[in-house]
A and B are shown apart, each in its own frame.
Chain A
Amino acid sequence: MKRELLGPLVLLASSLALPALARAQATSTLTFATNADPTFNPWSPNAEVESDLINELIFEGLTRYGSNLQPVPALATRWSVSKNGLVWTFHLRKGVTWQNGRPFTSKDVVFTFNDIALNKKLGANFASDYAPVSQVKAVGPYEVQFLLKTPFSALPSYLAYFEGILPASSFAGVKNPWTLSSFDKQHPIGTGPYQLDKFVPGSYVELRRNDHYWGGKPQVRTILFKIIPNANTQVAEMLSGGLDLISLQNTALLGPLKSDPNLQIIRSQENLYYWVALNQNDPRFRNVLVRRALLLAINRPAIIKSLLGGYGQVATGPIAPLQKAIYDPKVAQYPYDPTLAKKLLAEAGWLPGPNGRLEKGGKPFTITMPTGQFGQLVPMSELVQNYWKAIGIDVQLKVTDWNTYIKQVVVDRRYQATLAWWSTPPTPDIGPYYASSAAVTGSNIPNYRSAKLDALLAAGQDARTPAQEKAAYAKVQEFVASQLPYLYLWYPDILVVKSKRIGGMSDVNLPEAFQHSVNWTVR
C-alpha cells in the first residue's frame, strides 16, 4: 500500500532570501513539504500519500492514536460494543464546531460513512476496510451506531487511520464528491486544529491555526507545506539550512544529515512489512515446501544491512512488533539456509538438472517476477532474483513503471512472484489482505485461500477482551508463519530526521504525531 511514503514531509522553518522576515516568522511558523499537489478530502481516491498528513491537520476522525497506538477519543468521547458484537455505539463530543462555524453533529458522521465510505458507487479510499459495516445510524445529535454484518473488533482502530469526518452541509446536493474542487482544492472544512488558508498548485499549501479548536488554541500559528517531488531536493533544502523535518524513503539519504548538530534522527515504527507474493493460481506455489524453500533462500539480514542500511528487522508475519500487545515473535523462523532450501525443493520434486538448474519432469524452474518503479522495490527484487538464481531457479525480472505494474499485478494478477509491501493500520485485523474473499478481486494479492485461516481471522474479529484478542491472533500469526501465504521479508524503520527546534512532537510515528499537532511548539 502506498502509505509507506508518509514521509516526503519536510519542515522548512525559514526562508533563505529574506532572513529578517524569516526570523520573525520562525517563532510562529513551521513549513512542511509534500511530494505532490494534495487533495483535501481523505476519502477521495485522488488523495494519496501526498495528502494524508495535511488532511490529518484539517480533519479529525472519531478516534485517534494514543502514544501506544491504541485508539483514544477524538470526535467521539467514548464507545462500546453490544453483547453480540454487531452494534458499536459512539458518543460524540459536544461543542465542536466546523471551521465555518456550524456545529458538528451525528448528521456529519452518518453522512461521512453512509454517503461516502459505504457508498459503493463512489469507490472511496478505505472503503474495503469497512466491509463488515452495513450502515451507520444516528441516535440523537450526539450518538451514532455502527450496525455490522459480522463482528469487527478492530473498528475503533480503523476509525483513527486517516479517516476524517466530513461536514454534511458542504456536500448537500453534490452528485460526485470527487469533483467538488471548491471543497477539496479550495475551501476544505474540517474540525481539526488547522484550516486551509491558501493553496498554490505545484508550489505550496498554507495552513493557519483554528482559533476555535475544541482542544485549545494550537501554539504554532502557521504551517506551510512546500511541494517538492524529488527526495534529493528535499535533502538539499534541508541541508541548505531551511528544513526542520524530513522522513526518508531511503537510508542512503541519511548520510549527509547525520552529522548536522541541529538535527535528530528518529527510528519510528509503522505497521509496515515487505513481502514476496507467490501467485497461488500457479500450482507450483501451492506446495508449502516450495514457499518455505524460497524464503529460506533469501538472506534477509544481508539485505537489511545493505539496502536498508541496517534500519529494519526480519519480518515474521503481518503483525509488526509495534503492536506490542499482539506481536508474537515465537513463530516459525526461516534463517538463510540455501542448502535446506534445495533439500525442501528436492522433496517437492525439483531436482538439479545437468546444468545445475532445477527442473521437474524435464521442465526447468523459471519464475517471472514483475517489479514496479517505486522506492527500493527494484533493487530489492534484484537481490531476491540473485538469491533464487543461486539455488538454481531462473528468475525473469520485468521492471515497468508503477502504473503498469499495478495493472499487471493487482488488477490482472498476471505474475508468478512479486515483491511489494503492506502498510496497514496498527490493528491485528489482516482480513483485507488474507481472507479468501479478498483473493483475485481484493487485496489478497497472492490469491491465497484457506478456510482454516478464514476461521481464525473471524475469531479474532469476534474477540471481546484484550486477552481473547491476543490469544486469537497468536493462532493467526502461528498459522501464517508456518503456511506462508506471503513470504515475509522485513519491517523497515521509518527514519524521521527533525530539527531540534520542534518541541512537543511525539516520536512514535508521523501519523500519530500529526494527530496531536495542537501540542507542537517551536523553540
Chain B
Amino acid sequence: MPSRSLTQLRRPVARVPGRPGVLALLLRRPAGWISLALLVLLYGASFLGPLLDHHSATATHPLHALLGPSWLHPLGTDDLGRDELLRMLYGGRVSLSVGLISMVVALVAGLLVGGLAGYLRGAVETILMRLVDAFMAIPAFFLILAELAVFGSSPPVVILVVGLSFWGQMARVVFAESLKMRQREFIEAAQALGASRTRVFFRHLLPQVVPSAIVLGTLGVGWSILTEAALSFLGLGIQPPLASWGNMLQNAQVYVWTSPWLAIYPGLAIALAVLAFNLLGNALRDVLDPRIR
C-alpha cells in the first residue's frame, strides 16, 4: 500500500561537513528569514511586551469600553474597557504557546508510534497503525468537539486535544520514513555490530526521520493555532477571562458592525502567525530536501 502524507518527504540529505547549517541555509532564502523574523517579533512582543506595561490585562473599566485608538490605548479598548494592545499581547502568549506546545505533543507521539511501527513491523505495526487509522478516520474536529466536551477547556486540555488530533498524520509520515530507513545500510550495520534494538531505534533511526517530522510539525503549528481559533469561534477553546486570539475573535463577533477593529486585530495576528509558520515550514522543506524546489 502506498504511503500518503500531507508532505510527501524524501530522506533528508545528511549533513556534510563544510556545508552550511540548516539555519544558515534558511536565512539565505527570503521565505526563511522573513518568517523567522516575523516569529521572533510575534513571540518577542507577546512574551516581553507585557513586561513593559504594569497594567493588568484583566482589569475592566466598563465606562471606557469600545474606545477607538488613542495615545493611551494604541489599539483602542475592548467591550469591557480593557486595553486591546495588552490583550493582544497576552492573547498571543496563549495562542502561540498552544500552537507550539500542542505540536510538540504531536511530534513526540508521532515519532514514537510511527517510528516503532516502522522499525518493529509485524504485530506492533498492525496494532499501532490501525489505531492511527481509527484516529485519522474521525475528522479532527468531530473528535475535538467530543473530547473538549468531556474534559473541559482548560489550557492543558486544549493543548493536549489539539496536539493529539495531529499526531496521526505525524505518525504516518514517520512510519513511512522509518520503513525506508530500516532497510538502509547504516541501520543494518548497527544491528550487525550488536547494538540493542532500543539503541538502534533511538540513536540511529529516529535522528534520520526527525527532520521530516519537524517540517510537518512546523506546518502543524500554524494548523493548531487555526484550530484553537476555530474551537474558540464555536465556544469550545481557551475560555475567558484568559485571552487568546481565538476567543478575542469570537468575542468580537457581535461588535463587527460597530467596532470592527476588535475582530480585525486578532484575525490579522492569527493570519500572520500561521503564515509565518507555513512559510518557515516550506523553507525548511526546501532546505532539508533540496531536490524539489
**A-side interface residues toward B, CB under 8 Å?**
231-232, 235, 250, 252-253, 255-256, 299, 302-303, 305-307, 373, 378-379, 382-383, 385-386, 397-401, 404
Question: Are A399 and B240 closer than 8 Å at their CB atoms?
Answer: yes
Smallest beta-carbon distance B237→chain A, Å: 11
A149 to B59, CA, bound (A): 52
Q: A residues within 8 A CB of B258?
A: 252, 255-256
Chain B binding site: helix, strand, loop or mixed by DSSP? loop
Check B257 against A386 for contact (C-beta < 8 Å).
no
* Given A383-B60, A386-B58, A386-B59, also A232-B239 (CB < 8 A): no
Q: Shortest 5 CB-CB distances between A and B: which pairs?
A: A255-B258, A306-B62, A399-B239, A256-B257, A306-B65
Residues of A contacting B241 in the complex (Cβ-Cβ under 8 angstroms): 382, 385, 397
B56 nearest CB across to chain A (Å): 9
B228 within 8 A of A: no
Interchain CB contact under 8 A, A302 and B62: yes
The interface bits of chain B over 47-79 (1 if a CB of A lies within 8 angstroms of the residue's CB, else 0) are: 000000000001110110110000000000001
- Besides the contacts A235-B257, A382-B240, A386-B60, what 4 more A-B pairs have beta carbons closer than 8 Å? A256-B258, A305-B63, A383-B62, A399-B153
Given known pairs A253-B257, A379-B80, the reply for A401 and B62 (CB within 8 Å) is no
Is B79 a contact of A252 with CB atoms below 8 Å? yes
User: How distant is B146 from chain A, measured CB to nearest CB, in Å?
Assistant: 12
**CB <8 Å contact, B256 and A232:** yes
B23 interface hit (Cβ, 8 Å): no
Q: Does B149 contact A (CB under 8 A)?
A: yes
Question: What are 11 A-to-B residue pairs whose CB atoms are below 8 Å?
Answer: A231-B254, A255-B258, A306-B63, A306-B79, A306-B80, A307-B79, A379-B80, A382-B80, A399-B153, A401-B236, A404-B149
A401 touches B79 (CB 8 A): no
Find out whether the CB atom of A253 lies under 8 angstroms from the CB atom of B239.
no
Interface residues of B, Cβ cutoff 8 Å to A:
58-60, 62-63, 65-66, 79-81, 149, 152-153, 235-236, 239-241, 251, 253-259
- With a cutoff of 8 Å between Cβ atoms, the chain B residues found around residue A401 in the complex are 149, 235-236
Residue numbers in B under 8 Å from A256 (CB-CB): 257-258
A307 cross-chain contacts in B, Cβ below 8 A: 62, 65, 79-80
Q: How far is the CB of A362 from chain B (nearest CB, A)?
A: 26
CB distance from B57 to the nearest CB of A (A): 12
Contacts of A235 in B (CB 8 A): 257
The closest CB in chain A to the CB of B257 belongs to A256
Most chain B CB neighbours (cut-off 10 Å) among A299, A383, A385: A383
For the complex formed, measure the closest distance between the CB of B248 and the CB atoms of chain A, giving whole angstroms: 12
Known: A306-B62, A307-B79. A252 touches B152 (CB 8 A): no
Inter-subunit contact A302/B256 (CB<8 Å): no
Tell me which residues across on chain B come within 8 A of A378, comparing CB atoms.
240
Chain B residues near A386 (CB-CB < 8 A): 58-60
The interface residues of chain A lying within 8 Å CB-to-CB of B81 are 306
B72 CB → nearest A CB, Å: 17
- The distance from the CB of A256 to the nearest CB of chain B, in whole angstroms, is 4
**Residues on the A chain within 8 Å of B251, using CB:** 379
Within 8 Å by CB of A379, from B58, B79, B256, lies: B79
Residue numbers in B under 8 Å from A232 (CB-CB): 253-254, 256-257
> In this complex, what residue of A is CB-closest to B149?
A401
Which residues of chain A are within 8 angstroms of B63 by Cβ–Cβ distance? Answer: 302, 305-306
Contact B254 A383 (CB under 8 A): no
Chain A hits for B259, CB < 8 A? 252
Q: Which of B60, B256, B258 has the most CB of A within 10 A?
A: B60
- Shortest distance from the beta carbon of B48 to any chain A beta carbon, whole Å: 26
Taking the closest CB of chain B, its distance from the CB of A206, in whole angstroms, is 30
Q: How close is A486's CB to chain B, nearest CB, in angstroms?
A: 21
Other-chain contact of B257, A255, A379, A385 (Cβ < 8 Å): A255
Q: Which residue of B lies closest to A403 (CB)?
A: B149
- B254 close to A250 (CB less than 8 A): yes
Report Cα–Cα, A231/B58, bound state, in Å. Answer: 27
Do A299 and B256 have beta carbons less than 8 Å apart? no
Residues on B with beta carbons closer than 8 Å to the beta carbon of A404: 149, 152
Q: Taking A378-B240, A382-B241 as contacts, is the C-beta distance between A299 and B62 under 8 angstroms?
A: yes
How far, in angstroms, from A113 to B80 measured CA to CA in the complex? 47
Kindly provide the distance from the CB of A222 to the nearest chain B CB, expressed in whole angstroms.
30
The complex places the Cα of A252 from the Cα of B80 at a distance, in Å, of: 13
- For the complex, what is the distance from the CA of A355 to the CA of B80, rounded to whole Å? 26
Q: Which residue on A lies nearest to B250, using beta carbons? A: A373
The reply to whether A382 and B60 form a contact with Cβ atoms under 8 Å apart is: yes
A397 and B240 alpha carbons, distance in the complex (Å): 8
Q: Please, which residue of chain B has its CB at the minimum distance from the CB of A398?
A: B239
Given A253-B257, A307-B62, A400 contacting B239 (CB threshold 8 A)? yes
Chain A residues contacting B256 (CB-CB under 8 Å) are 232
What residues of chain B lie closer than 8 Å to A255, measured between beta carbons? 257-258
CA separation between A400 and B150, bound complex, in Å? Answer: 11
CB-CB under 8 A from A379, the residues of chain B are: 79-80, 240, 251
